């Protein structure tokens, strides 16, 4: 009876600089400087990673999706938003005068 093909990803090491992820026979460093949304994650959150396809990783507890290629070559995937930040939401907008 054929089964479902699944890929297994495993976190092998965590340091203050990042964590290492084993994908098959390839181990990749995920530095917090390049992937800041992982910096405050717990060990449990980091280790709960799914690898549904060869180029797709998903951390369900963090709701983070990443392309494996973006880990291999982060310079090709800059963390720059095309939309300007809303300064009112950022807390640096001038306060309206109150009557």
With cut-offs at 50, 70 and 90, classify the pLDDT of residue 77: confident
Q: Is the confidence at residue 93, as pLDDT, over 90? A: no
Residue owning tokens 């990443």: 66
Give the pTM: 0.72
Share of the chain above pLDDT 90, in %: 66
Q: Give the integer Cα–Cα distance in Å for 83 and 13.
A: 35
List Cα–Cα distances, 26 to 10, 12, 76, 83, in angstroms.
11, 11, 20, 35
Q: What is the mean pLDDT of residues 19-25?
A: 97
Q: What is the mean pLDDT of residues 31-36?
A: 93
Cα-to-chain-centroid distance, residue 79: 11
With cut-offs at 50, 70 and 90, classify the pLDDT of residue 16: very high
For the chain, what's the residue count?
99
pLDDT per position as a tens digit, 46-68: 999 999 999 999 999 999 999 99
What does residue 51 show for φ and ψ, rounded to 5 degrees?
Answer: -130, 75
Q: Is the confidence at residue 1, as pLDDT, over 60? A: no
């Amino acid at each position: 009876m054929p089964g479902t093909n699944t890929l297994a990803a495993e976190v092998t090491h965590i340091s203050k600089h990042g964590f290492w992820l084993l994908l098959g026979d390839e181990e990749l460093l995920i530095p917090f400087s390049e992937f800041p949304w992982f910096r405050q994650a717990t060990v449990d959150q980091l280790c709960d990673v799914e690898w549904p396809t060869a180029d797709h990783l998903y951390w369900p507890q963090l709701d983070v999706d990443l392309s494996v290629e973006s880990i291999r070559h982060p310079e090709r995937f800059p963390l720059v938003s095309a939309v300007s930040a809303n300064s009112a939401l950022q807390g640096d907008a001038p306060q309206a005068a109150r009557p």
